[in-house]
Amino acid sequence: MGVDIAIDLGTSNTRIYVADKGKFLDEPSVVTINLDNDNIVAVGSDAYKMIGRTSQRLSAIEPIVGGVISDFFLVENMIKIQLGKANISRIVKPRVVACIPGDITDVEKRAVVNSILSIGVRNVSLIEASKAAAIGAGLDIRSPHGRMIIDIGGGTTDMAVISLGDISASRSMKLAGNNFDDEIIKYIRRTYNLVIGKVTAEKTKFEIGTVVKPKVNKKIVVKGRNTVTGLPQAIELSSGELAEPLSEIAIAIAQQAQDLLEETPPELVGDIYKDGIVLTGGGCRINGLDQIIRDYVKLDVHIADNPSDCVINGCGYALRYIGQAEIDENGAVNPLSEPY
């Protein structure tokens, strides 16, 4: 019998969890192909290193955009190759738990299922990203006590109020970690006439990115191409400069959280008032994001331990429920959707 696995097909990273072993792989969702023959040259970390550095014959592609598969062929082969990297290529007909964004359509859902089924599995069970994040953050989602989670990934932000194992109210928006990168690229070009790449923007975000005025003004040297002279140039960028342009994205996320609370049943709002909101996902690590959300909703906001892994850990935890009915013998609600 095969070993059950969980897969988080994220916009920025693909993560794989193996039952009884934990997270086995965490690599960028990038594929480099040879444009002459469409052969795959590199996947994951190796392909990520090629972004912005490829020749005319090669192209580094991100086949998952906004949490949605944009290239079925590339995702199918990316999963196969990454399973091989995780040394589980000999798995025979495993069962799989995969997470999906909250607002995914039936067509997009089927694309996720088909991509995973194509690698040779028995069935695929789907779980919403916010629900998986809540489980991975250690929240008891089966109790009647309401909990609110905001998962800020690379391509989507999923937020939900969960009670009795199911989602009571939810919001999903295609505004997340990658948008901070895009804003950094636009700001540097607008202010310094300097063009930088995605990899440099992401590095800048993690080193000095902030959405509030920083207590300590960190600095970093950023290199790129001057749009006026066409020549290489280096500038010194401070964290204080980024606070204003990046705060607009944080405010938009906070406003969605406020709107979600207005849609939440009063009893559950009372629970959230007591416990606060939990943030997960790699996007929540940017400095001051929790503070902006706290200021908007007037509630405590907590960042989960190891927020980037909450979704995949939640999917891994859900593996134990594969094959069970929607309601188990104790009357508890199964956190998984129906398997395909």
**Structural domain boundaries in the chain:** 5-132+313-321, 139-175+248-307, 177-245
Q: Looking at residue 235, what is its pLDDT?
A: 96
Which 3-state string (H, E, C) describes 44-90?
CHHHHCCCCCCCCCEEEECCEECCEECCHHHHHHHHHHHHHHCCCCC
Q: Looking at residue 67, what is its pLDDT?
A: 83
Q: Looking at residue 325, what is its pLDDT?
A: 37
Of 100, 260, 205, nearest to 277 (Cα)? 260
Q: Looking at residue 128, what is its pLDDT?
A: 92
Task: For the chain, list residues with pLDDT below 50.
Answer: 89, 91, 325-335, 338-340
Range 5-132+313-321 has CATH code 3.30.420.40: yes
Q: Looking at residue 316, what is its pLDDT?
A: 93
Domain 5-132+313-321 shares a fold with domain 177-245: no
Query: From CA 163, how far away is CA 13, in angstroms rounded?
Result: 28
End-to-end CA distance of the chain: 19
User: Which residues, other chains included, contact 84 with Cβ-Cβ below 8 Å and sequence gap of 6+?
Assistant: none
Rounded to the nearest angstrom, the gap between the alpha carbon of residue 58 and the centroid of all alpha carbons in its chain is 26
Cα distances (angstroms) measured from residue 152 to each of 62, 137, 140, 302: 18, 13, 20, 13
Fold of 177-245: Actin; Chain A, domain 4 (3.90.640)
CATH class of 139-175+248-307: alpha beta
Of 5, 10, 58, 67, nearest to 31 (Cα)? 58
